[in-house]
Chains A and B, each alone.
Chain A
Amino acid sequence: MTNNLNAMKFIEVKNLSKTFDQFLANDSISLTIKNGEIHALLGENGAGKSTLVKCLYGVVKPTDGQILINGNHVTINNPREARSCGIGMVFQHFSLFPALTVSENILISLDEKITKKHLEDKISIIGKQWGLPIEPTKKVLDLSVGEQQRVEIIRCLLQNPKLLIMDEPTSVLSPQEINQLFKVLRKLANSGCSILYISHKLNEIKQIASKVTILRSGKVISSTSTSKISTTSMAEKMIGKKVKKITKFSKNSFLNSLTAISINNLNRKKISQFGTELKNISFNVKYGEILGIAGVAGNGQVELMNALSGETLGDPDEIIFEDKKIGNTNIKFRRSLGLEFVPEERNGHATVPDITLTENTFLTFYNTYSKNNNFLDDILLSSNMSSNDSISIINDNDVRCPYSNPLADQLSGGNLQKFIVGRSLKANPKVLIISQPTWGVDIGAASEIRSKLLLLAKSGKAIILISQDLDEIYEISNNICVINNGSLSKPKITSKISAKDIGILMGIN
């Protein structure tokens, strides 16, 4: 009986298409998920994963095609109807309310009538049953990201779903939290609930899913069981060309060189309620070295970046660059010494979203252009130079623009990031401090950005890389330290620190 049930199809998608204006986001997609199956959906950004999932969850309406649940044709007009068909979804960006408690968050998304007290008991029971412990009376803003995800999952489980859609669930979790999540997912699958698991992390898909469907430019490229496909061929199918192998340079190449920048007992008070206090942060970076700073989001990365770039100031000797004490100097001064900064937020921090790329270049380089002390001439001359500069950044870094000289926010995330990194390289920095360089960037652009960073280090420059992506840190950094609750661990050589060690340093079990 159980075997029979497991073999049954829960949901079948037939030739589903979706067009936005002229753009074909989903091109005749077919997909079958059996009961109790963990089915991975793999694809780059813009491959059509989100659109497909939104069609299933009733957020957008498909242009063409059918959806069958348990063999019956259904039309799903809104999330409420999707839930009543047994489809639950955990979004990548949680749809939670920080100022409300866990139980209040869940209460308002339930369609049934239930009192707060009764619901709190129910949350505790479900939490025990599935291994998702949570305090129902806590406010969401006091929870860690992993706990917030538990709230989302419990919210779905309360509706007894037959299919749970998880959109990039591990991008914000520590290795230990990922293992815990996988345990829960397997337990769910064993109980007969199907899971549609969206990700672009190949190893995870191998680990958790039994089947994988690969999308590229809105089409299904391949749908096969994960035991029959290697991660390399998954990657190739996903991006449609051979993946460039990054060649690593010799790890000791920088060992005899000078210290570029040293941070000594750097402290910063937290600025807002949700901020993190930086406590006694110390490290050195040599020329030719890439220092990777790992950590779960919200543990002081933003504060550290602000302190390093000069957005928040402190004592002069907290930051020493080539014997110069610069802890109390502003960004402009630091940049004039040869430091460059790429902050986490592309739109609005690293660039001004609603002005053109040339204008963004102008803002960055105006001070470095030679001047004739005639304001009007200087402006005209500088704008010519910035136009040339932005064109050369675009060409050198393969930035694909929808039209010539677009507004910054008209570029896709990956292309804008390539532009920003290229702009920093153009300034020929001695030290590059870069935060989350490939967050939300497709795999092709990410590997290009990483090669550029490696090339820069090879030419003898120092790089501080703050990233949540452990694979990235392992791939390109020489030394690794971990930031946890505003404290930084001692740097360790990359080959001598395991993912498990890093998880422990992240402070989550």
Chain B
Amino acid sequence: MENLLITILLTSIPILLAGLGELVTEKSGVLNLGVEGMMLCGAVAALGSVLIFGNPYIGILFGAIAGILISTVFSFFTITLMTNQVATGLGLTIFATALTGLIGEPFVGKTAASLPKLEIIFLSDIPYIGKILFSNDILVYFAIFLIFFIHFGFQNTKIGIIIRAVGDNHDSAHSIGYSVKLVRWISTSFGGMCAGMGGAYIPLALTPHWSEGMTAGKGWIALALVVFASWMPIRLLIGALIFGGITILQFVAQARGWDVPSQFLNMLPYLATILALALISLKLRHNNYAPACLGKHFLGNK
């Protein structure tokens, strides 16, 4: 049971990290559908750098940098050149899928070192929950820290309020004297960094081999999760754990020999995504949490 809970937590980390980043991006008014692509870039950069340098922490760093770099391509097109955000985001994912396939080719069949577990003294000895919560690798702690960091930042810091303001009404933000484009660049880069780290987590902690498209739709789930969480970081954690649980259900079912077709179980996380989105959009008609400027171009002074 303890192991099962740990596995669920670990499985949810990539979508949690990517979701948190996308949440910040969307709060500033940018809809980046390229999360899946950015995660793939993070994954391949992390795996490659670990194979070269041998240190999994370097992998996190390279994953984050790769995420930022690929997100700046998106920012350049959508924020500076004002291309359509949906089309550019989709294009980014398609582009990154092929690019990472090419870069990852030499890594096939090699195994990378995993992130070490960091036990927190005393706390990890607490019965039942100690092993689950306080005996994990650094990215787990980081992801949980990030939830509260973002929550607090949006409520109580000036930069957090500015990001929300830009996503809520970019014309007003401009008239007060903030650079809408700069705020969006930074938020999108933050989203890229988090997606890159989320992607890096997959080879560094879950499956230490490269395979093409190894994120397997986790980026899309993260996108759905942001809507599911109605743009609130703490709800995002709950959502990520639910999706982690559903993913793990497949393996449990196989191990226990339940008489359910494996294809059906594989389908479950995606089915849950669609269901969640459908339910949320029903609810959204009455309660609009979405940033008002989400996906809209800022033209500047007309």
Number of interface residues of B (CB under 8 A): 21
Interface residue from B156, B172, B177, B287 paired with A97 (Cβ < 8 Å): B172
- Stretch of B1-9, B87-95, B163-171, B236-244 contacting A (4+ beta carbons < 8 Å): B163-171
**C-alpha gap A80/B179 in the complex (Å):** 13
Tell me if A96 and B177 are in contact (CB < 8 A).
no
Given the known interface contacts A95-B171, A116-B156, the answer about A109 and B291 at a Cβ–Cβ threshold of 8 Å is: no
Given the known interface contacts A91-B175, A107-B158, the answer about A100 and B288 at a Cβ–Cβ threshold of 8 Å is: no
User: Inside 8 A of B169's CB, which chain A residues have their CB?
Assistant: 95-98
Interface residue from A95, A100, A272 paired with B176 (Cβ < 8 Å): A95
**C-alpha gap A421/B169 in the complex (Å):** 32
**C-alpha gap A364/B293 in the complex (Å):** 32
**Nearest neighbor of B171 in chain A, beta-carbon distance:** A95
Tell me if B165 and A100 are in contact (CB < 8 A).
yes
Interface residue from A91, A97, A109, A116 paired with B164 (Cβ < 8 Å): A97
Tell me if A95 and B168 are in contact (CB < 8 A).
no
**Nearest neighbor of B165 in chain A, beta-carbon distance:** A97
Tell me if B286 and A273 are in contact (CB < 8 A).
yes
User: Inside 8 A of A444's CB, which chain B residues have their CB?
Assistant: none
User: Inside 8 A of A202's CB, which chain B residues have their CB?
Assistant: none
Tell me if A108 and B176 are in contact (CB < 8 A).
yes
B292 at the interface (CB under 8 A from A): yes
Tell me if A99 and B172 are in contact (CB < 8 A).
no
Tell me if A79 and B291 are in contact (CB < 8 A).
no
**Distance (whole angstroms) from the CB of B189 to the closest CB of chain A:** 21
**Distance (whole angstroms) from the CB of A495 to the closest CB of chain B:** 43
User: Inside 8 A of A273's CB, which chain B residues have their CB?
Assistant: 286-288
Tell me if B176 and A79 are in contact (CB < 8 A).
yes
Which residues of A51-88 have CB atoms within 8 Å of chain B's CB atoms? 59, 78-80
**Nearest neighbor of A79 in chain B, beta-carbon distance:** B177
User: Inside 8 A of B176's CB, which chain A residues have their CB?
Assistant: 79, 95, 108-109
Tell me if A95 and B164 are in contact (CB < 8 A).
no
A-B contact count (CB 8 A): 51
Interface residue from B175, B285, B292 paired with A95 (Cβ < 8 Å): B175
**C-alpha gap A79/B172 in the complex (Å):** 13
A135 at the interface (CB under 8 A from B): no
**Nearest neighbor of A113 in chain B, beta-carbon distance:** B158
Interface residue from B161, B171, B286, B288 paired with A104 (Cβ < 8 Å): B161
User: Inside 8 A of B292's CB, which chain A residues have their CB?
Assistant: 98-99
**Distance (whole angstroms) from the CB of A237 to the closest CB of chain B:** 31
User: Inside 8 A of B161's CB, which chain A residues have their CB?
Assistant: 100, 104, 107-108
Given the known interface contacts A78-B177, A79-B175, A107-B161, the answer about A98 and B168 at a Cβ–Cβ threshold of 8 Å is: yes
Tell me if B164 and A100 are in contact (CB < 8 A).
yes
**C-alpha gap A94/B165 in the complex (Å):** 14
Residue among A80, A97, A109, A273 with max Cβ neighbours from chain B (10 Å): A97
B162 at the interface (CB under 8 A from A): yes
User: Inside 8 A of B285's CB, which chain A residues have their CB?
Assistant: 272
Residue among B158, B162, B171, B285 with max Cβ neighbours from chain A (10 Å): B158
**Nearest neighbor of B287 in chain A, beta-carbon distance:** A273
Identify the A interface with B (CB < 8 A). 59, 78-80, 91, 94-100, 104-105, 107-109, 116, 272-273
Further pairs besides A94-B172, A97-B168, A108-B165: 5, Cβ < 8 Å: A79-B175, A80-B177, A97-B164, A99-B168, A99-B291
Supply 13 A–B pairs (Cβ within 8 Å), ascending by A. A78-B177, A80-B177, A91-B175, A94-B172, A95-B171, A97-B169, A98-B292, A99-B168, A99-B291, A108-B158, A108-B161, A109-B176, A272-B288
Q: Please provide the 8 A-B residue pairs with the shortest distance between their CB atoms, ordered closest to farther.
A: A95-B172, A97-B168, A99-B168, A95-B175, A97-B165, A109-B176, A104-B161, A97-B169
